[in-house]
Amino acid sequence: MTKIDPLGTGPERSGEAPAGAESAPPPTGGEREPLGAVRERVLATLRQEIIAGRLRPGDRLVERELAERFGVSRVPVREAIRALVAEGFVLFETPRRTVVRRLTPTDVAELFELREALEVYAAGLAAARATPESLADLAALLDRAAVATHADDAEAVTDINTAFHDRILAMAGNSLLISVMEPVDGRLRWLTRQNEEWPQLLTEHRELYEAVASGDPERARAQALTHVQANYRSTVRHLFGEDA
């Protein structure tokens, strides 16, 4: 499988580790890494591995094993796990057993309700406030999405599709919209990874781009709503084998 750089900076994405390896090694040369930095490093790696599917629903997160893997004490590992619980990625089945969560129909419905409320509104604002430069950036993401889709590169498709929606949020020019979406950004990326109907997603994103580029807020909102609802139905089919 060809690896695609979602940001267009090279032949392969950097900063993501395969299962069983760290995405960012600890500093060398005798400097001691601050505890907060260790926690963030462990947290970022585990979060990415869950999103990418290298850690799957039901997989256990064992403090001792993770501390050995990362070469750190159990304290930052424990804090990273608690952060993952707060973000909705893992849960404590018992006080001594922590596992990656399985997304439920309610989880998916709630996340898509949030997407519908915010992304539809953002698309209308983006259409009204788009500039030639921002539209060019959006079009470039579509070009990279097409390459990643053709290469069957799941992680690149996920990253680029997320960047596409993030770009529309930025084009909306409303910082509160972005701040509301940030706490659930990781879970939305996780959801994106579950939907493997990538050619259809690419088609829908092209249609959304055309609607935003038209400068017609009503058309952009309608297209965004169509996209979110179609994405919801396909995600439910993929995860639960049933129609929404």
Domains and CATH numbers, the chain: 1-102 (1.10.10.10), 105-240 (1.20.120.530)
Q: 99 - beta bridge partners?
A: 60, 91
What CA–CA distance (Å, rounded) separates 193 from 187?
10
pTM of the model: 0.78
First-to-last alpha carbon distance for the chain, in angstroms, is 32
Q: Going residue by residue through the chain, which has 244 residues, state the pLDDT in tens, using 9 for 90 and above.
A: 444 444 444 433 333 333 344 444 554 444 578 888 999 999 999 999 999 889 999 999 999 999 999 999 999 999 999 999 999 999 999 988 999 999 999 999 999 999 999 999 999 999 999 999 999 999 999 999 999 999 999 889 989 999 999 999 999 999 999 999 988 888 988 988 887 789 999 999 999 999 999 999 999 999 999 999 999 999 999 889 876 5
The 10 Å Cβ neighbour count of residue 197 is 15
Cβ distance 123 to 215 under 8 Å?
Answer: no
Token pair 């498709």 is found at: 157
The 10 Å Cβ neighbour count of residue 128 is 15
